[in-house]
């Protein structure tokens, strides 16, 4: 595993033009990478992730897949957080 791009997770705005260009890449691993980067950034900047997903939705089936993956991860993380809180009392 790599260390990630910590500085860009904290301040993702410099990566937005790159993500916009790569979101329609023909390679699945590139689109997954874009979705993962946006998801990582969403930890500190959920507003940016929501804005990107909203602006990208409907552009193509591949982009819609990436947006759905983001939402899926957020829902899973939220449910896990609530479940852990409930389990710990």
The pLDDT tens digits for 20-68 are: 999 889 998 998 888 888 888 877 887 888 788 888 888 888 888 877 7
Which residues, other chains included, contact 33 with Cβ-Cβ below 8 Å and sequence gap of 6+?
22
Residue 76 has pLDDT above 70, yes or no: no
Closest CA to 48 of 6, 65, 40, 23: 40
Torsion angle defined by CA atoms of residues 51, 53, 59 and 61, in that order, rounded to the nearest 10 degrees: 180
Domain ranges of the chain: 13-88
pTM more than 0.85: no
């Amino acid at each position: 595993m790599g260390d990630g791009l910590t500085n860009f997770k904290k301040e993702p705005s410099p990566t937005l033009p790159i993500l916009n260009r790569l979101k329609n890449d023909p390679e699945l691993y590139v689109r997954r990478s874009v979705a993962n980067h946006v998801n990582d950034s969403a930890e500190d900047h959920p507003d940016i992730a929501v804005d990107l997903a909203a602006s990208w939705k409907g552009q193509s089936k591949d982009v819609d897949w990436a947006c759905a993956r983001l939402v899926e991860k957020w829902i899973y993380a939220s449910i896990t957080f609530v479940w852990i809180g409930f389990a710990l009392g």
